[in-house]
Chain A
Amino acid sequence: MEGCQTKLIHRGAEADLLLGRWCGLESIYKSRKPLTYRLKVLDDAVRTRRTAHEALMLREAKRVGVRTPYLYHVDTKGAVIIMEYLKGARLKDRASGMSRAGVSAVFGEVGTMVGTLHSSGIMHGDVTTSNLLETSSGLAMIDFGLSTHTQRIEDHAVDLRLIKETLTGAHPMIADLALDSIFAAYRKVVGGARLKQVKRQLSEIERRGRYARAD
C-alpha cells in the first residue's frame, strides 16, 4: 500500500479516509490510526477488532442484498481497509434540504435495509446518517466496524434506538416523519409481530437509560 498516491478526504471519528487507487480502481482507504488517548494495548485491540469485523460484515451485508462498497483488501494488523469508492452524498448532509416526500422515500429505504440485515441476523451497530450514502444507484451503507451476527431482539432494538437518537438529536425537524417511514418499511421486511417485540424492547432500553440516580 505504501508508495500508492492517496489523498485525505475525510477525518472521521475513528479513521482517516483517503482516496486512492487499488489495481487501477478508484478506491477508499479507511485507515484506523492509533488513537493516543486510549492505552496502547486497548487501542490496538479495538482497532484490529473493528477492522476485521468491518471487512467481514461488508461482504455479509452485500450477500444478503444490502448495498455496500466492494471490499478490495484488508490489512487487519495495520487496521486498513481498501474498498470501492462510492460517489455520493452522506444522508446527513442531504436530510435537511429534503421534501417530505423525499424524506419518506429515503428513510423508507433505510428501514428496508436495516430490516434486511436484521432478518438475516446482522446488526449494523452504527446506523447514523453519516454512515448512509446516497448514490446515483440508490442508498448504500458503510462503516461496519461495530457490526455483529446476532438474532437477539435486544441487539436489533439497540440498532433502532441509535437511529432514533441520531434523528431526534441531529435532525429534529424531520425526525418523526423519518422514524415513521423507517418503521413502516422495517415492518414490511421483518413482519408486524417482530416489529412489536423490537419496539417493546426499544422502550425498555430507553427506560433503563433514563435518569437513574438512586442506587
Chain B
Amino acid sequence: MVDSLIGIESTAHTFSASVVTSSGRILSDVRDVYRAPAGGGIHPIEASSQHMANAPGVLREALLEAGIPIKSIRAVSYSMGPGLGPCLRVGAVAARSLAATLVKRIVPVNHAIGHIELGCLLTRTKDPLVLLVSGGHSMVVAFSGNRWRILGESLDLTLGQLIDQFGRHAGLASPCGTKVEEAASKSAKYIELPYTVKGNDVSYSGILTAAKNLLDRGVAFEDVCFSLQETAFAMIVEVTERALAFTEKKEVMVVGGVAANLRLSEMLKTMVRRHSASFRAVPPRYSGDCGAQIAWAGWLEYNTGNSIAIVDATTRQSWRLDSVDAKWRDARRS
C-alpha cells in the first residue's frame, strides 16, 4: 500500500482537494473555481460561501477519484496562508473536520511554497531560480541556507493584479489573463508605458494607471494589451535575469497562474539562453492554484515529522515564504 496525503487549497478563488502519493503521483485533483462578476474583483465573502457550499463535494470526489483505501492516507494538509481570510478559514475548517473524521494529523502548508515545490516535482528541477507570478505573488525566489529566499519582487501590485485590474477596467471578468494574452497576440503596435525597475524589484502601479488612461482615451484594446504585456513582462524578466546572474543557478522555473502565458515563457527562455541555464515552465494544468500543490508540499513537510494538532490548524493571511524552514530540502542535501 502506497502512502499518500490529501491536500486542501483555499486561499482565494479556488477550492480544491487532491490526493498525492509519497512518490509524487497525483491521484486526483478536484477543483471548484469562484468567478467574479464582469468588471468586478474577487469578493472574499462570496468566494468563501461558494467554497463552503462546495467543500464536501470536492473532498468526496477527490477521495473517490484517488481510489485508494482511507488508511493509506497519512495526513491532511491545507493552505494556512497567505490568502484571503474568509477563504482561508474554509480550508482550515475543512481540514479540521476531515482530519477529525479520519483521525489523521494535520499539516499546514504555505501556499507559495506549494506552488514552488509542485513546480519542482513536475518540471524535475532540483535547485532552480524560481519566478513565482500569480494573483498573490510576483517574486524571484531561490533556495539558500535552509529556506526559500526572496531575491526580488514587486514593490506594489503583483503581475496577476496588474493584468486583472486592467482587464476589469476594460469590462472583463477576473481572471483576465487568457483574454489579455489573446488580445495582445493580435497586435504589434507598441505604445510606451512606464518601465520601472528598481534594483532587483519592479513597480507596476505606473503601468496600470497609464494603461487605463490609454483605454479611456480610446486606444485600441489589443494595442494596450500588447504594450502592457511587453513592458510588464520585460521588467519581471529583467529582474529574474539579475537574480540569475547573481545566484549563478543553472535552472530557471516559472510557476503561478501567469506562468501559463506563452509570451512570458518565450521571453524567459530567450533570457535564460544567454546565461547557459535551462528553462522550465510548470505544465499549464498545474500553474494556477490547486490542491496538488498543497498535497505535495504537505507530504514533504509531513515527511520531516512536521504536523500539528487539530486545534492549531489556524490561518495566516500574510505569511511570507521566507519564514518557512524547508527542512525537507536540507535533508535531501546531506
Contact = CB atoms under 8 A, between A and B. Distances in A.
A215 B244 contact: no
Interface string A33-56: 001111101110110000000000
B201 interface: yes
B278 interface: no
Contacts of A162: 198-201
Interface stretch (A20-28, A79-87, A98-106, A125-133): A125-133
B181 interface: no
Interface stretch (A65-73, A183-191, A205-213): A205-213
Contact of B165 (A128, A146, A215): A215
A75 interface: no
B147 interface: yes
A172 B201 CA distance: 19
B108 interface: no
Interface stretch (B2-10, B54-62, B155-163): B155-163
Interface string A150-177: 0000000011011001101110110000
Nearest to A43: B234
A130 B267 CA distance: 25
A146 B199 contact: yes
Given A172-B147, A209-B154, A42 B41 contact: no
Nearest to B165: A215
Nearest to A210: B318
A64 B82 CA distance: 45
A92 interface: yes
Interface in B103-159: 135-137, 142, 144-145, 147, 149-158
Interface string A174-205: 00000000000000000000000000000001
A139 B157 CA distance: 36
B83 interface: yes
Contacts of B319: 211
A159 B190 CA distance: 31
A166 B190 CA distance: 33
B320 interface: yes
Nearest to A207: B318
A35 B272 CA distance: 11
A11 interface: yes
Nearest to A15: B245
A41 B200 contact: no
Contacts of B83: 211, 213
Interface residues of A, number: 41
A170 B42 CA distance: 35
Contact of A209 (B156, B165, B317): B156
A4 interface: no
A170 B247 contact: yes
A169 B238 CA distance: 18
Nearest to B321: A211
Contacts of A205: 155
B270 interface: yes
Interface in B211-241: 230-231, 234, 237-238, 241
A168 B144 CA distance: 10
A146 B161 CA distance: 26
A37 B271 contact: yes
Contacts of B231: 42
A43 B153 CA distance: 21
Nearest to A166: B200
B246 A39 contact: no
Q: 7 smallest A-B Cβ distances: which pairs?
A: A162-B199, A13-B245, A37-B267, A37-B270, A213-B136, A211-B82, A13-B242
Interface of B: 11-12, 41-42, 44, 82-84, 135-137, 142, 144-145, 147, 149-158, 161, 164-165, 190, 192, 195, 197-201, 230-231, 234, 237-238, 241-242, 244-247, 266-268, 270-271, 274-275, 317-320, 322
30 contacts: A13-B244, A13-B246, A14-B238, A14-B242, A35-B238, A35-B271, A35-B274, A36-B270, A38-B230, A39-B190, A42-B190, A42-B234, A125-B198, A128-B246, A130-B245, A130-B246, A158-B198, A159-B199, A161-B201, A166-B200, A168-B322, A169-B150, A169-B322, A172-B147, A173-B145, A212-B161, A213-B11, A213-B83, A215-B41, A215-B161
Interface of A: 11-14, 35-39, 41-43, 45-46, 92, 125-128, 130, 146, 158-159, 161-162, 165-166, 168-170, 172-173, 205, 208-215
